[in-house]
A and B are shown apart, each in its own frame.
Chain A
């Protein structure tokens, strides 16, 4: 068997993960330490070790389950799984890749709506000002998620403690920021 045959590109998620993230899903031997240490495993449809098992099967059905899962969005990027994995599988980076694939393939789980709305509002805020404008973020998030009444009691307390600004703290070179966003917007 030639070397190149050994490395034929697989047209599935595990292959994409190997190519783009450098993570070999086959290395997982299902010890379950990632799922045991994951702070949000109990909320997930598939805990991290099960996501890995689904990927290992390399079937279109299971790839689809992974991309449509709530799990990939609930992953909070705390990095506990990676620090405890005996095979040092970089699950957090793999999750980043899966989230991005899930959006590209339009398979985002509906339950992840608010989580994604928040991430988008966050990036919208820094796209134009360069630095996070917390009040703007909250307003944009409310608009996107329609959770209008959330945290209304928090704002006055933040204001009285000088923790909420009404004017964004903008960087000087906002044009530079706009170009960075533009150049990275379509891969």
Chain B
């Protein structure tokens, strides 16, 4: 079994902290993560908004390169990339004619044989079974697990957790000592790709997600998506301005929380790169 990783563009830039925590966990647990050679952008929202064929060709190139390199499973930490990759696999499986056309476009033979895992599935498979023996500093905090949109939707295609009130991240967090709060905003949208073009919408939607987490007494919001993180963390000044508030709750990647629990330093898991201070480590 050869495990690959598709980091996606955010993890090389604005979500470097997420990248650092993913690789810190891989190192601590002795897990192999082979970066897919010469990977490209998945196309994100822009491609499927403007050009359907392109939105399938870009992920297909990534998947075809993985197959060519004998990668059996691909870890995709970004929930948005994860959704695009799985949706592409689904569309091309369901429509062989389209698959031929896309293969023509990418000049490669995509077959659809690699298994795609999101970050929680990776943690569940490789980390949870051994996390108890490695935990030195239980994450004894109340947490609001925020899944966002694309980790669970379109749920009939991703076939992962349930669409309403998902549980997988909550279960992972309990394994390192956290107490998840009941949280109705788990799968509400943060505003996603409107961060730059409609910051007002992001401020409004993300503000509601933060407000409810604070109202329920959570010490931190736990996320598994770089877009959710940048909207809830980096856009915090815009959010606080929009709602005339001073929300201070930190936003932590699930991988960072696990890293802290097994004794990794805040620097090592990228916590120093956040905009909202994380005072709980």
Residues 135-171 of chain A, each 1 if its beta carbon lies under 8 Å from chain B, else 0: 0011001000100001100100110011111000101
The answer, among B41, B150, B154, for a CB contact under 8 Å with A130, is B41
Q: Report the separation of the CA atoms of residues A76 and B277 in the bound assembly, to the nearest whole angstrom.
A: 29
Among A6-14, A46-54, A59-67, A175-183, which stretch is in contact with chain B?
A175-183
A78 at the interface (CB under 8 A from B): yes
Q: Are B191 and A115 in contact (CB under 8 A)?
A: no
B50 at the interface (CB under 8 A from A): yes
Q: Are B16 and A176 in contact (CB under 8 A)?
A: no
A16 at the interface (CB under 8 A from B): no
B280 at the interface (CB under 8 A from A): no
A110 at the interface (CB under 8 A from B): no
* Residue among A114, A120, A180 with most chain B CB within 10 A: A180
Residues of chain A with a CB closer than 8 A to B52's CB: 96-97, 100
Looking at the assembled complex, report how far the CB atom of B243 sits from the nearest CB atom of chain A, in whole angstroms.
Answer: 16
Residues of chain A with a CB closer than 8 A to B155's CB: 83
Q: Are A39 and B49 in contact (CB under 8 A)?
A: no
Q: Are B40 and A76 in contact (CB under 8 A)?
A: no
* Residue among B38, B164, B274 with most chain A CB within 10 A: B38
Residues of chain A with a CB closer than 8 A to B15's CB: 163
Q: Report the separation of the CA atoms of residues A184 and B274 in the bound assembly, to the nearest whole angstrom.
A: 38
Residues of chain A with a CB closer than 8 A to B45's CB: 76-77, 119
Residue of B nearest to A43 (CB): B201
Q: Are A164 and B13 in contact (CB under 8 A)?
A: yes
A40-B201, A83-B155, A117-B197 known; A177+B12 contact, CB < 8 A: no
Query: Which residues of chain A in 57-104 are interfacial with respect to chain B, using CB atoms and an 8 Å cutoff?
Result: 74, 76-80, 82-84, 88, 90, 92, 96-97, 99-100, 103
A83-B155, A171-B39, A173-B38 known; A164+B14 contact, CB < 8 A: yes
Looking at the assembled complex, report how far the CB atom of B157 sits from the nearest CB atom of chain A, in whole angstroms.
Answer: 9
Residue of A nearest to B12 (CB): A169
Looking at the assembled complex, report how far the CB atom of B52 sits from the nearest CB atom of chain A, in whole angstroms.
Answer: 6
Q: Report the separation of the CA atoms of residues A100 and B10 in the bound assembly, to the nearest whole angstrom.
A: 26
Q: Size of chain B's interface in residues, with CB distance under 8 A?
A: 58
Query: Which residues of chain B in 135-181 are interfacial with respect to chain A, using CB atoms and an 8 Å cutoff?
Result: 149-150, 152-156, 163-164
Q: Are B188 and A176 in contact (CB under 8 A)?
A: no
Residues of chain B with a CB closer than 8 A to A183's CB: 57, 104-105
A126 at the interface (CB under 8 A from B): yes
* Residue among B46, B105, B197 with most chain A CB within 10 A: B197
Q: Are A161 and B273 in contact (CB under 8 A)?
A: yes
Q: Are A88 and B234 in contact (CB under 8 A)?
A: no
B43 at the interface (CB under 8 A from A): yes
Q: Are B150 and A79 in contact (CB under 8 A)?
A: yes
Looking at the assembled complex, report how far the CB atom of A40 sits from the nearest CB atom of chain B, in whole angstroms.
Answer: 6
Residues of chain B with a CB closer than 8 A to A90's CB: 154
Q: Are A126 and B153 in contact (CB under 8 A)?
A: no
Q: Are A115 and B194 in contact (CB under 8 A)?
A: yes
Q: Are B48 and A114 in contact (CB under 8 A)?
A: no
Looking at the assembled complex, report how far the CB atom of B156 sits from the nearest CB atom of chain A, in whole angstroms.
Answer: 7
Q: Are B192 and A180 in contact (CB under 8 A)?
A: no
Q: Are A123 and B47 in contact (CB under 8 A)?
A: yes
Query: Which residues of chain B in 20-51 are interfacial with respect to chain A, using CB atoms and an 8 Å cutoff?
Result: 38-41, 43-51
Q: Are B57 and A180 in contact (CB under 8 A)?
A: yes
Q: Report the separation of the CA atoms of residues A157 and B14 in the bound assembly, to the nearest whole angstrom.
A: 11
18 contacts between A and B (CB under 8 A): A39-B191, A76-B201, A77-B45, A83-B155, A97-B52, A100-B51, A103-B50, A118-B196, A126-B40, A126-B41, A131-B9, A131-B40, A132-B13, A150-B199, A158-B234, A165-B13, A171-B38, A173-B38
Q: Which residues of B are in contact with A by a Cβ distance under 8 Å?
A: 9-10, 12-16, 38-41, 43-55, 57-58, 61, 104-107, 149-150, 152-156, 163-164, 187-189, 191-194, 196-199, 201, 205, 234, 272-275
A-B pairs, top 5 by smallest CB distance, nearest first, are: A132-B9, A79-B153, A122-B46, A118-B197, A78-B189
Can you add 6 more A-B contacts, CB < 8 Å, to A158-B234, A180-B61?
Answer: A123-B50, A134-B9, A141-B197, A165-B13, A183-B105, A184-B53
